[in-house]
Amino acid sequence: MTALTTAWVEDLTTALGPDAVRTDPDVTVAYARDQALMAEAGTPAAVVFPGSTGDVVAVMELASRHGVPVVPRGAGSGLVGASNAVDGGITMVLTRMDAVLEVSAADRLAVVQPGVVNKALRDAVAAAGLFYPPDPASYDWCTLGGNLAMNSGGLCCVKYGVTTDYVLGLEVVLADGRVLRTGRRTVKGVAGYDLTRLFVGSEGTLGVITEATLALRPAPATDPVTLVATFATSAQTGQVVESVVTSGVVPSMLEVMDRTCIRAVDDMLRADLDRDAQALLVARSDAGGAAALAEIAELTRLCEAAGADLVHSTADPAEGDLLLAARRAALPALERLGSVLLDDVAVPRSRVATFIDGCDAISSQYGLVIGVMGHAGDGNMHPTIVFDATDADQRARALEAFDAILELGLSLGGTITGEHGVGTLKADWLAREIGPVSADVHRSIKDALDPAGILNPGKVVRRRG
């Protein structure tokens, strides 16, 4: 540690107390990166654990004064390196700020600190007959602060949207330590610019979210009806997705996995899946009672019309959860085959089949296993490249296949990220998707809010050249 570093670490310790500031290498290494394989990461000089907004203010004031970069993070469940550490900087871990400050049934909202685990909020509001929909796969350990920073999605999005659709207001500590409040407690409000949604999804590059007011929904029916269908071609699968869109039925879930995933899951779970199917769809309705049965009946008709080999549905929640478990097992099943590089491309719903076929072609071209799973109902696909991370050639081919998938997504009118974010992993691709004018507008906003560039540098927006 340099003398300069020692000076500001001492200041930090004075401000937050010794328990909240750690510089030992086992700690700094443990907080250096998220779940993204192959994303750049440095090593923080210090890891801080603020316990209050006041602590966050103290950190940002001090970091501003000393020109030290600050990387905010939660549980580290991210998938693009957005909370990866910067060498010599401060990594600010917000997991100690984990209070659900309020649940109001009368105004159907909750007020939370950023360290609350997604599932903890879901459980807290369920007790009041309410529902917080965004459900990233890591919902039982990821934090809401991370969900907000990344604008996380999940399986619910086809019916219920993403994190930003549930954010009424925020408390944000700015780069210079000032505390900004955005938004409101009311359902509607148009007083000034939509700063709330500017901060949501900005990946910690514009401010540190220290509190959020979240809209809730009435709890859905507790008797979901679940459908599974298999298809001999991805074209048939795509036809179902498209016909669901045009039918007007909005399932609460419409998930897909391809043959590679089906076989990997069947190998792991011995679930007696159709190993020759090209694709498997899992759909669910939470409309309740007769409405749910009617929705699933319509989905059954659409699957059959597309030529499904098998369509099965069940109103038994336990059996439904088993069907869903196969889909949820897709990623762990692929992880048994090697290292995985998980991509995240959203395409227009009419292009889902073309995208799956394109990923197959990329798999052949680069000689790598690529399993495609995803949220078919909203076009958000997760092609997952399996490779041997100890083999330099395979690593290189995996990265090339990763890029080819992004290229394919853009060529179909899609986006390089539907829900995982940009982080360090896709910062160059972001510039390509949004073009020079938008990149310049991004930089202007970043410079306006964080002129010294200390907030999560290198993520999302690259500095002006």
Site for its own copies in 259-298 (CB under 8 A): 290-291
The reply to whether 18 sits near its own copies by the rule CB under 8 A is no
The reply to whether 354 sits near its own copies by the rule CB under 8 A is: no
Contact 399, 38 (CB under 8 A): yes
Query: Could you tell me if 224 and 288 are in contact, meaning their C-beta atoms sit under 8 angstroms apart?
Result: no
Under the binding rule (CB under 8 A), the answer on residue 462 touching its own copies is no
Segment holding 342, helix H or strand E: strand 339-342
Map the footprint of its own copies across residues 117-176, applying CB under 8 A.
129, 150-151, 153, 157-158, 162, 164-165, 174
Task: Please report whether residue 249 would count as binding its own copies according to CB under 8 A.
Answer: yes
User: Which H or E element spans position 229?
Assistant: strand 225-231
Q: Strand pairing partners for 284?
A: 226, 253
Q: 180-209: which residues touch its own copies (CB under 8 A)?
A: 180-182, 184-195, 197-198, 200-202, 206
- Smaller CB distance to its own copies: residue 45 or 345? 345
Interface residue with its own copies among 361, 444, 463, 464 (CB under 8 A) is: 444
Q: Which is nearer to its own copies, 7 or 291 (CB)?
A: 291
463 touches its own copies by CB under 8 A:
no
Q: Which CB, 227 or 254, lies closer to its own copies?
A: 254
Tell me, letter by letter, the H, E, C secondary structure of 252-298.
CEEEEEEHHHHHHHHHHHCCCCCCCCCEEEEEEECCCHHHHHHHHHH
Residues 214-233 that bind its own copies (CB under 8 A): 218-219
Among 253, 292, 378, 383, binds its own copies (CB under 8 A): 378
Task: Kindly tell me the sign of the dihedral angle through the C-alpha atoms of 243, 245, 248, 253.
Answer: positive
Round to whole Å and give the CA distance between 150 and 163: 9
- C-alpha torsion 354→356→360→365, nearest 10: 60
Position among 107, 321, 400, 407 found at the interface with its own copies (CB under 8 A): 107
Helix, strand, coil shares of the chain, percent, nearest 5, are: 40, 20, 40
In order of 39, 48, 53, 297, the CA distances from 60 in angstroms are 25, 11, 11, 55
Which among 52-60, 305-313, 327-335, 421-429 is the span making contact with its own copies, rule CB under 8 A? 421-429
> Of 6, 52, 246, 365, which lies in the binding site for its own copies, with binding defined by CB under 8 A?
246
Nearer to its own copies, 66 or 185 (CB): 185
Residues binding its own copies: number (CB under 8 A) = 84
**Residues of this chain, 25-44, that bind its own copies according to CB under 8 A:** none
CB atoms within 10 A of CB 354: 17
Query: 355 or 387, CB closer to its own copies?
Result: 355
- Provide the minimum distance between the beta carbon of 442 and its own copies in the complex, in angstroms, as a whole number: 6
Are residues 38 and 84 in contact, defined by beta-carbon separation less than 8 angstroms? no
Q: How far is CA 8 from CA 26, 161, 173, in A?
A: 20, 42, 19
* Residue 243 to residue 373: CA distance in whole angstroms: 19
Q: How far is the CB of 439 from its own copies (least distance, A)?
A: 8
Would you count residue 392 as binding its own copies (CB under 8 A)? no
Which of the ranges 25-33, 140-148, 260-268, 375-383 carries the binding residues for its own copies, by CB under 8 A?
Answer: 375-383
Residue 421 binding its own copies, by CB under 8 A: yes
